[in-house]
Amino acid sequence: MGYNKTPKSVLRVREYLELLCTASGIVTLSTKDPKALAYAIHEGLYAAEFLRWPKYSQLRKSYEITTDTGKVICKPKITLTLQEGTLSLEEVTDWMDAIANIVKYKDVEIPILLPNLAYNEDDFQLLKGWCEQNGRELVKLPIGCKILKAPTLLKDEESDHGNT
């Protein structure tokens, strides 16, 4: 079954689309039925793109819509060619989410900040070991962690020293 491509599909979620137009970060919508709301938003975005509504037609390419318990999360899609600044992932709270997001943003050259990562020494050591094996450096901050891409030059120099 596909999405409806009617103006009603857009108008049904217009207030949420307006919110996404003005938002500059992650939007969290509390609801009793997150799957139904997420579906309605997806359908509205699809219809807006199909109908070429200028105000909403580009939102589908700009946001990733997911659900969690009691909420719909609308995350801006990240352009993977970022070269400056820091990619902050506030929604990451445990080390498994951290690894999943590091893999997801593997081409990002800038540091990845995980400000809400729950600190537990065992989990921190697991994440640190994973980062080291995968060309990343984990830096503990007073609140959360920062993931840096390890310089490839350093790896090449280490392998040259091991061969001589």
Same domain for 119 and 146: yes
* Higher-scoring residue by pLDDT: 104, 33: 33
CA-nearest of 80, 82, 74, 64 to 31 is 74
Same domain for 68 and 16: yes
CA-nearest of 57, 62, 66, 2 to 28 is 66
Is residue 82 assigned to a domain?
A: no
Residue 123 pLDDT? 84
* Higher-scoring residue by pLDDT: 56, 148: 56
Q: Chain centroid to CA 44: how far?
A: 21
Lowest mean pLDDT among 2-6, 126-130, 157-161: 157-161
Is residue 161 assigned to a domain?
A: no
Q: How many domains does the chain have?
A: 2
Same domain for 47 and 15: yes
> In the listed set 76, 104, 127, which residue is the last one of a domain according to the structure?
76
Same domain for 115 and 69: no
| 63-95 pLDDT per residue, tens | 889 999 999 998 887 654 445 567 777 788 888
